[in-house]
Chains A and B, each alone.
Chain A
């Protein structure tokens, strides 16, 4: 399966605050929000997309590796992110839009760090919101817990 960098990038740069609901890129279900609780294996801060790889221990004791694609670092910086916010080994909770086909991949939505810092991915936001910064950040995960 191919995951296209540029398309994701351009998709999230689209048109209005409703753009988020407007994603139907075959890979991810933007109507679903799932909360992962895991440990960071890799945090790739690069263009065109960031990638957060998280190891999730399931209720049955097995481990899964989740590859989560985020926006461009350039956009994230303007939304309060710093490359050093996340380190390998960190425990994180992450709200994601999961893959439609059940693979362990997702589109980042919000990262909740142990210290209480909350980082929202600007994907799908309007030009106005991208220039203005995030508003109404949640304080705790909003997705359905993944077990």
Chain B
């Protein structure tokens, strides 16, 4: 952009025209490449007003917050069609040793959506929906400006999310995950579990997702008070075919006590020495449940 302007004629009108053409060219480039670094073009007041009017017509995800009422672990009612690598991993999987929770490290997607206890909150402005996930103190940014995924998204815990509406359903497509986001790839057969293990995480198979993990979430209101999110996992290093998880549910809270709060994880005091005394901020100690 800068280069184009420098080379533009000094004549004011021609310069302006050159700028506009340049913007159009830029837009075309953005549309083609989906490059997240491309310069944004300011919207006019009218365009912005129109965008807000369109937002007003969308299903009301916005009032209040959403509290998970689904179990923390995903269920896999239909046995997934696993790759041979995944089958071999599951065969040797030991839940006790492999429990992935450690200190204040972010869980990331997909599992962060499973953590209830603290509500989530949707926000919107033209071109973007934000979802604050209090239980991790993180915000998902879901682009709704029609862009395509970056060709080489940098890995992050929440990935790169792009959303669009299909009727009353917000469809969110996410890629670009850090390799160590918490990923549940299945559930152990109940018969193989220790008798009566009542942990909500009992039998959960956590594993490593592939670099091309892609999630497609379908979010819609069942009624004013109930939000449903159904997620399909695309990862051909784990599943031969995409796996559709059963939907999860969230209930709306509009009271002040259900408003979003800060959540900063600062206390890594999670270690007790043999006498039961607490240590502070113990890091790099793997934990098992």
Contacts and interface: CB of A to CB of B under 8 A. Distances in A.
Interface of A: 1-7, 9-16, 19, 21-26, 44, 46-49, 51, 53, 65, 67, 71-72, 74-75, 77-78, 99, 103-105, 122, 126-128, 130-131, 133
A78 B289 contact: no
Given A11-B199, A127-B251, A131-B67, A5 B103 contact: yes
18 contacts: A4-B102, A6-B287, A7-B101, A7-B201, A10-B115, A12-B117, A13-B135, A15-B72, A21-B198, A23-B199, A26-B289, A48-B267, A49-B267, A49-B270, A67-B276, A67-B278, A78-B258, A127-B117
Per DSSP, chain B at the interface is loop
Nearest to B274: A1
A67 B277 CA distance: 7
Interface string B76-118: 0000000000000000000000010111100100000001111
A6 B117 CA distance: 12
B45 interface: no
B264 interface: yes
B200 interface: yes
A133 B270 contact: no
Contacts of A21: 198
B103 A47 contact: no
Given A6-B103, A21-B198, A47-B263, 19 more contacts: A1-B271, A1-B276, A2-B272, A4-B99, A5-B269, A6-B101, A10-B115, A13-B72, A14-B72, A24-B199, A47-B264, A74-B117, A74-B134, A78-B257, A103-B276, A127-B68, A127-B116, A128-B67, A133-B257
Given A4-B99, A47-B263, A128-B69, A10 B200 contact: yes
B119 interface: yes
Contacts of A12: 117
B116 A13 contact: yes
B198 A4 contact: no
A23 B263 contact: no
Contacts of A11: 199-201
A146 B117 CA distance: 31
Contacts of A22: 198-200
Contact of B117 (A23, A26, A75): A75
Nearest to A2: B287
Contacts of A78: 257-258
A76 B244 CA distance: 34
Interface residues of B, number: 52
A67 B270 CA distance: 11
Interface of B: 67-72, 99, 101-104, 107, 115-119, 134-135, 137, 196-201, 250-251, 253, 257-258, 261, 263-278, 285, 287-289
Which 6 A-B pairs have CB atoms at the shortest separation, nearest pair first? A13-B117, A6-B101, A127-B69, A103-B276, A46-B267, A14-B200
Contact of B270 (A4, A122, A128): A4
Contact of A23 (B137, B196, B198, B258): B198
B263 A74 contact: yes
Contacts of A19: 200
A67 B267 CA distance: 14
A44 B269 contact: yes
B217 to A, nearest CB: 19
Given A51-B278, A74-B118, A128-B251, A3 B270 contact: yes
A72 B272 contact: no
A126 B289 CA distance: 22
B283 to A, nearest CB: 12
A99 B276 contact: yes
A2 B69 contact: no
A49 B67 CA distance: 19
